[in-house]
Structures are given as structure tokens and as C-alpha cells.
A = this chain, B = another copy of it.
Amino acid sequence: MPHKLIRMERVRRKERAHRPVMIAIAGDSAAGKTTLSRGLAEPLGPARVTTVCVDDYHRYDRQERKGLPFTALHPDCNYVEIMEQHLQLLATGQPILKPVYDHDTGQLIRPELVEPREFVIVEGLLPLHSRLTRACFDFMVYLDPPEDIRRRWKVGRDTQKRGYRVDQVLAELEHREPESAAFIRPQRAFADLVARFAPVPGRHDAPGTPLSAELLLRPTLRHPDLRRIVALNGQRAIHLKLSRDEDGRPVDTLHIHGYAPREESQVVLKAIWSRLGVDGGDPPESLGDIGNGERSESLAITQLLLLHQLLSAAG
């Protein structure tokens, strides 16, 4: 048998394709994963980006889950080993036949072919769950909104877009909480960047003030040096704070002020944009889009920093 395997390896190496840049966007339900990733995919363009949602790797359909002692958040409720395998395949430039979970009917349906383009955005509940999945990514993001904000977002989305009643959504959130604590939130520890969109604690901004963002930039990766941009801007739209992570390691926190005038944020956005070395022009319109025609400058700056990382990794 060994000679067969050697032959197999040789053929496989030879036929191996380009290796894409892989980014993970992890977070609990309604944490803003799709909104964030849309703003990355659009400026790069569909020809360069493959987006994969790993919530499709459900082991059981909705009907089967009713008889089970865990929710869809639990790793045992998902084909984690297949998710690992598929992420490895994508990371080495190979196509996958991805399972498909139909959120409308709650059924597992015909799988679909997914081919990795230059950038692969992987979003979902558990992309950072295992050592093997994490090893597939060039960049890992965890979305960490305060629970009260996430609850509001989830109620809004699930009642408006998925046909649930408010009391159903709240009951589901409560039902899932132990597994959120056990399996979703621990992924925060592995992210290269943790983003929290929220009002600044202690400030009393007028209702309707855009959310600020707090980005934990972990030294697990080289982040762009923002000191000059912060200085240039006089700390009005953003400021950078050196501190210690939960485990005592040095970490930078970038604060993006939602309450800052839009023009100030635009200065920052343009300064980062110009560093990207893209041919002139303004930053893409799609940055900061939070749906319904609304815009968030703190989201735009966050997305632009992530774009910077993606393009550097591809470089």
C-alpha cells in the first residue's frame, strides 16, 4: 500500500492550486457577522471572494434537533470534523462539496460546490472552535457586542426577517445561553482581532448616536501601525490604548468614536485607504453599510482595517 499513497501525494501536490487568504468571522447569533463580512466582500469584488457560512455543517435538521439535549450551537450538533476538513481543503486551494442547511425549512438539502477564490471569508458560530480550524486562517475576528445589544439585534432580525415572535426569540436566547457560554464565547480568546460595537461606557450620548467600536488588536499578528494616523487625527475619531490582555500579554485597543463628527471619521478612513496603495479615489461606498440605507463610521473603519490585513496577506 505505501507506494500507492506516495503516488497519491505526488499527484495531489502537483495538482494543488493557489492558496487563498482565509479570514474567520466568528461570533454568536446576530453578533453582526454578515454585516461585517459583506463590507469586506463588496470592495474586493465577487470575482475575488468566496464566502462560506459554517453554520451549514449541522449534523441534524430542525425536526431531529427537537428530540436532542442540545441546541445548534453545540459542537456535537455539527459535523465539526468535516468542517475542519473542508476548511483545510479551502486553505490549500481545493474545492469542497459544502452541505447546505435551509434556514427557511430547517432541512439539510442538496450540497453545493464551493471553490476558493483569492479570499475566503468564513463566518459562523464555530469557525474558531478547534485547533485544526484555527490553523486554517490567516486572520481571525471575533465579534463581541454587549449581550443587551446583541439581544436587540437578534430580536429585530428574527422578527422582521425570519417570522418569529419577540417572546420566541427571547426564549431561544435563554435556551441557548449555556451553550453560548460553553462554546461560542471561548472562541474570543483565539481571535487576532476582537471587535465590540457599543456606546462608550460612561458617556451619555443622545439617543441615535452611532455606536462606537472597541477593537482589541492582539499581537498574534502584525497589525498596521496606526500611531501616525491617530496623531494626525488628534484622537478625535480614533485613539489607541496600550494595555494588557486577559492573560497579561500586551495588547493594543483601538477606540473608534461613534460620536465623532462624520468628517473626522472620514479623515481617518481616507488616511488608511491611502496606505492601502489602491489607485486613488475614495474609500468604497459599501464600507460601513449597516442596511436600510444607514451607515456606521466605526464599522467602516473596522472593515477598512480588515481589508488592509487581507490585502497585505495576499500581497
Binding site for B on A (CB under 8 A): 1, 4-5, 7-8, 11-12, 15, 19, 21, 59, 61, 79, 81-82, 85, 88-89, 91-92, 94-97, 99, 107-111, 113, 131-132, 135-138, 313
Contacts and interface: CB of A to CB of B under 8 A. Distances in A.
Given A5-B92, A8-B136, A109-B109, 10 more contacts: A1-B19, A1-B21, A4-B138, A5-B91, A8-B88, A8-B132, A11-B131, A11-B135, A85-B95, A85-B96
A231 B210 CA distance: 91
Contacts of A95: 81-82, 85
A110 B113 contact: no
B109 A97 contact: no
A4 B136 contact: yes
Contacts of A82: 95-97, 113
A145 to B, nearest CB: 28
A4 to B, nearest CB: 6
- Copies of this polypeptide in the complex: 2
A4 B135 contact: yes
> Which 6 pairs of residues, A with B, have the shortest CB-CB distance?
A108-B110, A8-B135, A82-B97, A7-B135, A111-B111, A11-B132
A79 B131 contact: no
